[in-house]
Structure 1
Amino acid sequence: MGNPHILVVPFPAQGHAIPLMELSQILIKHGIKITFVNTEFNHKRITNALGKEPEGQVRLVSIPDGIGAEGNRNHLGKFTEACWKFMPGELKQLIEKINQTDDDEITCVLADMTMGLGVEVAAELGIKRAALWPAATLLLALILNIPKLIDDGVIDENGTPLKHEMIRLSPDTLTMNPSNFMWATIEDFTTQKIILDCMQKNNIAIEKAEWLLCNSTYNLEAGAFALVPKALPIGPLSELDILGNLEVNFWAEDGSCLKWLNLQPPRSVIYVAFGSFTILNPTQFQELALGLELSNKPFLWVVRPDIIEGKDDAYPEGFHNRVADRGRMVGWAPQRVVLSHPSIACFISHCGWNSTMEGLSNGVPFLCWPYFGDQFLNESYICDIWKVGLKFEKDESEIIRGEEIKSKVEKLLSDENFKARALELKEKTIDNIKEGGSSEQNLKSFIEWVKS
């Protein structure tokens, strides 16, 4: 028998690949061999972003996603459906090929839990199987409760909310608005139905996973972990893998912003980043620019090449000149390093789970700008439960205005309690990965199981 060899299968999106790559780098340090599966499309993007074939001890391989070269990968429903239909066969072939040519056969599949198909394939082949849930554990509890939500008349069988009062899954979890359920934030009804169906397929796959790991911690989500006893926290992964040498970025990082941050006073910079998926219409983009200008503070703003709906540039006229001495715009930033920089004062964030965990781990207060999916749930955690951030209010045309941005920045930064709570939460969260911490113990047990 060769060394333990894990095949890692993320859902093909930036926010899903990141925690699985962080976990992969940690496992490698424990002598476990890792083969990491991207789609051909994403493999190309990562290679282009790095400007070369990726180096590192993680071996990157790719399989087709069933969409074809010209297909639309931004259509979440069709894309997810194609993955479920097409990728199981491709994964099976890949495992067989590796087992014929590699000294170390695949001994375990570690799949993103939103890619339960990876768990299904491993079960079919009689290989060890584990899953990583990459979002808040409360979202997992919500998804596992879909049949009950339908029975209780909270949603119909397509996921559409029928009740409009707030609900909670247990007395120890936060209250949720059914219209903010992850699938209900998808505007296209057909996509909503596809996503709900896939979630229910994943629920069946979870039963077949021998380990269910979560990038979270008991202190952040005690109530949610009580609802999903099988789920074990091993987070925050971003802090465990501080020196990971292989990044799975779909855009090239602009590291020059770190030199610029070095020149800014401590706790002075507003960091603005909306992840890999958020799209802003030109009006909203302009109001954000105006808000940053009105704040009169230094800011580092990640403006993805595809962030503005239907346009390349929607900056207000003369904006660049007016903010030249204190504003810095980049296409993509090395976020973990940015958030740990002493000059950062606060984080205007879409509240994706990776960004939430990275902000918390660095004691940074938030201004929340959720876009879709699980981000509204994370916003509730940040503002209502942990109290380390504030929400923005939209006007009657659903726009967050520049004045609102300026006023919330002032409110957040003038109240020292936000920073104090953020630092306290940081300490409690980081304690989980120190020796003897619950995340550290869970990870240790998992590694022993992989090697056994």
Structure 2
Amino acid sequence: MDTLVHVLVIPVPAQGHVIPMMELAKKLARHGFKVTFVNTDFIHTVVMNASTKNEEEDDDDGIRQVSIPDGLELGDTRTNFGRLSEAMQRVMPQKLEELIEKMNADGMKIKCVFADNCMTWALGVAKKMGIKGVAFCPAPATSLALFSTIPKLISDGIINSNDGSILRQQEVHLSPKMPAISTETFPWVCFTDMDLRRSAFQHFVTSTEDLRYADKIISNSSVELEPETFSSFPNMLPVGPLLATNTRGNQGGNFWPEDLACLSWLDQQPVSSVIYAAFGSSSSHDQKQVLEIALGLELTGKPFLWVVRPDTDKEATEGLASFEERTVSRGRMVSWAPQEKVLRHPSVACFVTHCGWNSTLQGVSNGVPLICFPYSADQFLNKRFICDSWKVGLGLEKDESTGLVRKHEILTKVNQLLGDKIYKSRAMDMKEKLLHSVREGSSYRNWSNIVEWINEEQVIA
């Protein structure tokens, strides 16, 4: 019989969700909880394969990783969001219930379930079984606030009720206190395939409706990052950035092995000299855009570390051989980087990023100014935070005639960012504010209250 309080954590089966929920699991483990981390069978295999190839293993003491089926066959593609979502909703609730029942029978009684805010059906399972449930938002809290406002956006005639398509292009206020958000930045609008947009939109709607099963809603954000959102939606409790309390900088849940050798390469570079470029786990650039990025990095004349994922289309990277030859003395390309450690490294001057929330948090939590190249989902919203609200970065603009971010645009923005010390100064100021928040400020207090609440004996009415 376990003496530790046992909690269960279940993420969306996607890299950008697994990583922050693993950070959450680690934080729970550091607070003395026994943690079971539940991936889908498919993602569990991917993560295990990546971790066994890493030269330095994460310290995951107290975290037990298990898996359940996602409803698709082993050989099926997981890129069709609608099909995957339907399969998960059909199969996973029963499988999760069976897993919890087995653990309870084995003396590992689950006291609380933490579920991604896009996997809130798991909180329905928890509620049914008399278990406490917490919804975790790994994206900006503003995106969850947007999802909760969808019924009003529909009734106001701003979006279509079927697929979320924009009926009226405009700036909207989710609350009187919050700054306006452009309808063009709504996360589902980036899907040009209408079936995919419909599936994504309906998934957001259903998941947000299922928040009714949550006893608490927490967010991997802070009051310093989204003050108006947390003031307007007080039921969302900021407890982040979670990574700011991970002193070792080890990042679990990677889908690809990390190239740790790049850290030694960074050791050889001057302080604040390296341009770090990485575009997340799902962004996809065609051959012309990849070449423009390469030539832009070359034009800067500065050292660079560029992440080109293992699953990048080979056609997209054709023509880079001569670029690598020309820049071998000052550049390095890797398939996947230990990003948190890279951004903590003193040689890194700036971060060219797709603006995923994880990458955004890693940048600002380490005082690194950002150059924004958003691709999809909440990344356009995050760009507005970076450039307009926090003023710690600059956005790359696409050439109107080609739709590409051109090499000279990259050069111009790098020179502008690194030539004005105010961006670095603001980024360092934000870093200090975030560290204070997680060490003794509002995020720390919210987290302490959550820990205390989990440990309380549940009173069944």
Q: TM-score range by the shorter chain?
A: over 0.9
Q: Residue in 2 aligned with 1:405?
A: 410
Secondary structure at the aligned position of 1:397 is classed as: coil
| Displacement after TM superposition at 1:171 (Å) | 4.2
SS at match of 1:345: strand
Residue 322 of structure 2 corresponds to residue 318 of structure 1: yes
Matched residues in 2 for 1:155 and 1:312: separation?
A: 35
- Structure 1 position 80, deviation (Å): 2.0
Partners of 2:326 and 2:397 lie apart in 1 by 26
Please list, as runs of the form range in 1=range in 2, the aligned pairs for 1:280-359 lying within 5 A after superposition: 280-308=285-313, 311=315, 313-316=317-320, 318-359=322-363
User: 1:230 Cα deviation (Å)?
Assistant: 0.7
**Count of matched residue positions in the alignment of Structure 1 and Structure 2:** 449
1:253-272 alignment, distance < 5 Å: 253-272=258-277
SS in 2 for 1:410: helix
Task: Determine if contact 1:279/1:306 at 8 Å carries over to the other structure.
Answer: no
- Whether 1:130 and 2:134 are equivalent positions in the alignment is yes
1:380 equivalent in structure 2? 384
Post-superposition offset of 1:66: 1.0
- Following the alignment from structure 1 to structure 2, what is the Cα–Cα distance between the partners of residues 366 and 244? 19
1:80 corresponds to 2:85: yes
Distance 2:430 2:176 in 1: 22
Amino acid corresponding to residue 239 of structure 1 in structure 2: A
1:17 partner SS: helix
1:247 deviates by: 1.2
Q: Which amino acid aligns with 2:288?
A: T
Q: Which amino acid aligns with 1:441?
A: R
Contact preservation (8 Å) 1:114, 1:202: yes
Aligned to 1:23: 24
Tell me how far apart the structure 2 counterparts of residues 358 and 451 of structure 1 sit (CA, whole Å): 30
Letter in structure 2 aligned against 1:326: R
Aligned residue in 1 for 2:125 = 121
**Structure 2 Cα separation of the partners of residues 302 and 371 of structure 1:** 16
Match of 1:3 in 2: 4
Tell me whether 1:424 sits opposite 2:425 in the alignment.
Answer: no
For 1:318, what is the secondary structure of its paired residue?
helix
Whole-angstrom distance in 2 between the partners of 1:140 and 1:307 = 30
Identity of aligned residues (%): 46
- Alignment-derived partner of residue 195 in structure 1: 200
State the shift of 1:3 in Å: 3.1
1:182-261 superposed matches below 5 A: 182-243=187-248, 247-261=252-266
Measured against aligned partners, the alpha-carbon deviations of 1:35-94 in whole angstroms (never above 9, x if no partner) come to: 000111111111111227986320000111112111111122222222222211111111
Alpha carbons of structure 1 residues 380 and 278: separation in structure 2 relative to 1, 3 Å:
same
Residue 307 of structure 1: CA displacement? 2.5
* Aligned-partner residue type, residue 427 of structure 2: A
TM-superposed deviation, 1:429? 1.5
Q: Which moved more, 1:395-404 or 1:170-179?
A: 170-179
- Once residues 321 and 4 of structure 2 are traced to their aligned partners in structure 1, the CA distance between those partners, rounded to angstroms, is 60
Structure 1 pair 317–244 and aligned structure 2 pair: CA distance change class (3 A): closer
1:245 CA displacement? 6.0
Kept after mapping to 2: 8 A contact 1:287/1:400: yes
Does the CA-based 8 Å contact 2:11-2:21 persist in structure 1? yes
Question: Contact 1:22–1:244 (CA<8 Å) still a contact in 2?
Answer: no
1:351 counterpart SS class:
coil
| Mapped partners of 2:155, 2:394: distance in 1 | 35
Instruction: Indicate the SS of the match to 2:402.
Output: coil
**Aligned partners of 2:73 and 2:83: how far apart in 1?**
12
